[in-house]
Amino acid sequence: MTNLPPITPVLLCGGSGTRLWPLSRKSYPKQFAQFLGEESLFQEAAKRVSGEGFAAPLAVTGDGFRFIVAEQLDHCGIRPAGILIEPEGRNTAPAAAAAALHLAETDPGALMLLVPADHAIPDPDAFRDAVMTGAPAAAQGQIVTFGIQPTRAETGYGWLEAGQDTHPGVNALERFIEKPDPATAETLFADDRYLWNAGLFLTRADTLIAAFEAHAPDILKDTRAAMDAAEPDLGFLRIDPALWGQVRSESIDYAVMEQAANVSVVRFAGGWSDLGSWEAVWQESPQDGDGNALAGLSTAIDCENTLLRSESDEIELVGIGLKNVVAVAMRDAVLVADMSDSQSVRRAVDMLKERDAKQAVQLPVDYRPWGWFETLILKDRFQVKRIHVHPGAALSLQSHVHRSEHWIVVAGTAKVTVDDEVRLVSENQSVYIPLGAVHRMDNPGKVPMVLIEVQTGTYLGEDDIIRYEDIYSRR
């Protein structure tokens, strides 16, 4: 073990944000939200694969999430080895191939651990032990996956069949099994050879590249072309959009793992969930004596086996006489569902999209590289926002064609540029931005700056921006 190289975690953090709507949405998918504690699932995943035996992580994410990834890692005190930007989601196989090619440039034999960043694993020490158990086999050319000791006859997961021992604590993987029907799940659950498929893989970079060459050469070829044309961008590595769009979208299980002969499995019994539904969130949450899990300003009266979550400090959520129910309240959307039907949330999101409801994809809070804003009021010809700017951050130098703005600073100090004038605006002071004026807002201080913005005009969309300069190189 001491002679093995450190393992580079590859944090896969894309995602569409539909199964755990309304808290998870396309603009801010579940890996970045707080479901089971004070840190996001992404932060918990990054911390779980840090420390002794691990190198700095490599993250693979979408363009819209790159600054969220960097900020959340910074809050954990983790400096990534790199952040690869996918121009669009192409499923896990291209993401894994891109990470392997990137690592192989400097060390073909680098050990890499593919980590979906939206899973819940309550015992990180046990998980790290399992990874280290599989490391010798991975260093010798195996692709090691991790099978979860099942606790029920689950039909929502794929399964694995473990075979004979190949290394201490490591078994040959006989086959992958698709999500079973209830009767098949009962049969699998009764046989200790069968485990849940967690979608985690530990291997050498060159081993994974060879597996793609043998079983999905088209994905490897097209991914390599896109990576060869990748360009650095503010500490990120931006994969070429046109070439990436030509890569076949496929999961790594289908593209490689189900065909490769050198796949092994390590059993893991430390607890695991992919948090694929609100029922799974309920199962992983602390519960009272009646099986109720409460979060935020929530109250349960005569309820059983119910999940109540208020995600707003202005909404009191009260459940009375509920049984096996999920209720999630946010400022702009409320979900109420039977616990057993919580897998159907995606259908609700699709229906909202058909109606062009913004709640389908957009959180009330809009995260940007400089901070965030939320719309407090939106009516015909005026909008009121609360804007939070991080210390040292700055909005772009910009102008608007259809609106003017009035800024009132309520916390901190803003450095405001309006055409040729630059001045400091402190708490309880305000500034007016006329229609068409070239303007910018900076936070020169060491504490967050908060202001209220009142917009007036004929069109108030976020695309009414002419951008002249931007320290974040947004396009």
User: In the predicted model, what is the mean pLDDT of residues 174-190?
Assistant: 95
Residue 308 pLDDT: 98
Q: Among 353, 374, 405, give the residue marking a domain's end.
A: 353
CA distance 317 to 311: 9
SS3 97: helix
**Higher pLDDT, residue 1 or 259:** 259
Query: Same domain, yes or no, for 73 and 137?
Result: yes
- For residue 131, the domain's CATH number is 3.90.550.10
SS3 40: coil
Q: Which two tokens stand for residue 247?
A: 């890569």
Please give the helix or strand (H or E) that residue 327 lies within, else none: strand 325-329
Residue 234 confidence class, pLDDT cut points 50, 70, 90:
confident
Query: Same domain, yes or no, for 344 and 379?
Result: no
Residue 341 pLDDT: 86
Query: Same domain, yes or no, for 25 and 127?
Result: yes
Residue 475 pLDDT: 65
Percent of the chain clearing pLDDT 90 (strictly above): 91
User: In the predicted model, what is the mean pLDDT of residues 342-359?
Assistant: 91
* Phi–psi pair at 267, nearest 5 degrees: -75, 140
C-alpha pair distances (Å), 412 with each of 386, 408, 427, 432: 14, 11, 6, 18
- Reported as a single tens digit per residue, the pLDDT across 423-435 is 999 999 999 999 9
Residue 1 confidence class, pLDDT cut points 50, 70, 90:
very low
Q: Which two tokens stand for residue 325?
A: 């129910």
Cα four-point dihedral sign 232, 238, 241, 247: positive
Residue 356 pLDDT: 93
- For residue 372, the domain's CATH number is 2.60.120.10
Angle 432-436-437 from CA coordinates, rounded to 5°: 50
Query: Same domain, yes or no, for 299 and 395?
Result: no
Query: Same domain, yes or no, for 121 and 181?
Result: yes
Residue 37 confidence class, pLDDT cut points 50, 70, 90:
confident
Query: Same domain, yes or no, for 333 and 417?
Result: no
User: In the predicted model, what is the mean pLDDT of residues 326-350?
Assistant: 92
> In this structure, is residue 338 part of a structural domain?
yes
Distance of CA 254 to the CA centre of its chain: 22
Residue 181 pLDDT: 94
> In this structure, is residue 116 part of a structural domain?
yes
> In this structure, is residue 193 part of a structural domain?
yes
Nearest to 174 by CA among 203, 202, 194: 194
Q: Are 112 and 205 in contact (CB under 8 A)?
A: yes
> In this structure, is residue 358 part of a structural domain?
no
C-alpha pair distances (Å), 192 with each of 137, 159, 166, 226: 22, 12, 17, 43
Query: Same domain, yes or no, for 150 and 286?
Result: no
Residue 64 pLDDT: 87
User: How many CB atoms within 10 Å of residue 431?
Assistant: 18
> In this structure, is residue 455 part of a structural domain?
yes
CA distance 247 to 256: 15
> In this structure, is residue 428 part of a structural domain?
yes
Q: Are 215 and 260 in contact (CB under 8 A)?
A: yes
User: In the predicted model, what is the mean pLDDT of residues 246-274?
Assistant: 95
- Reported as a single tens digit per residue, the pLDDT across 381-402 is 999 999 999 999 999 999 999 9
Parallel/antiparallel/unpaired status of strands 307-310 and 293-295 = parallel
Nearest to 373 by CA among 453, 456, 275: 453
* Phi–psi pair at 425, nearest 5 degrees: -120, 115
Query: Same domain, yes or no, for 248 and 287?
Result: no
Cα four-point dihedral sign 216, 63, 43, 105: positive
Q: Among 268, 297, 332, give the residue marking a domain's end.
A: 268
Please list the residues that pair with 408 across neighbouring strands: 430, 452
User: In the predicted model, what is the mean pLDDT of residues 137-147?
Assistant: 97
Would you say residue 278 has pLDDT above 90?
Answer: yes
* DSSP per position, 199-249: EEEEEEHHHHHHHHHHH-HHHHHHHHHHHHT-EEETTEEE--HHHHTTSPP
- 121-158 per-residue burial string, b: 16 or more CB within 10 A, e: under 16: beebeebbebbbbbbbbbbeebbbbbbbebeeebeebb
Distance of CA 326 to the CA centre of its chain: 22
Residue 2 confidence class, pLDDT cut points 50, 70, 90:
low
Nearest to 29 by CA among 238, 275, 244: 275
Would you say residue 14 has pLDDT above 90?
Answer: no
Residue 467 pLDDT: 94
User: In the predicted model, what is the mean pLDDT of residues 434-449?
Assistant: 96
How many domains does the structure of the chain reveal?
3
Residue 233 pLDDT: 87
User: How many CB atoms within 10 Å of residue 247?
Assistant: 26
Would you say residue 331 has pLDDT above 60?
Answer: yes
Query: Same domain, yes or no, for 40 and 60?
Result: yes
Mean residue pLDDT across the chain: 94
Q: What is the CA radius of gyration of the chain?
A: 24
Query: Same domain, yes or no, for 150 and 238?
Result: yes
User: How many CB atoms within 10 Å of residue 470?
Assistant: 16
Cα four-point dihedral sign 405, 431, 418, 372: negative
> Which range of residues forms the domain containing residue 344?
278-353
CA distance 248 to 293: 41
Question: Which of 8-17, 37-46, 182-191 is least confident?
Answer: 8-17
Q: At a CB cut-off of 8 Å and minimum separation 6, what does 379 contact?
A: none
Q: Among 300, 330, 353, give the residue marking a domain's end.
A: 353
Residue 472 pLDDT: 86
Please give the helix or strand (H or E) that residue 131 lies within, else none: helix 124-139
Please list the residues that pair with 171 across neighbouring strands: 165, 265
Query: Same domain, yes or no, for 345 and 388?
Result: no
Nearest to 61 by CA among 101, 40, 88: 88
Would you say residue 172 has pLDDT above 50?
Answer: yes
Query: Same domain, yes or no, for 344 and 200?
Result: no
Residue 150 pLDDT: 95
Residue 196 pLDDT: 96
**Higher pLDDT, residue 10 or 155:** 10
User: In the predicted model, what is the mean pLDDT of residues 5-26?
Assistant: 91
Nearest to 330 by CA among 372, 289, 359, 288: 359
Would you say residue 310 has pLDDT above 90?
Answer: yes
SS3 63: helix
> In this structure, is residue 360 part of a structural domain?
no
> In this structure, is residue 273 part of a structural domain?
no
CA distance 174 to 195: 12
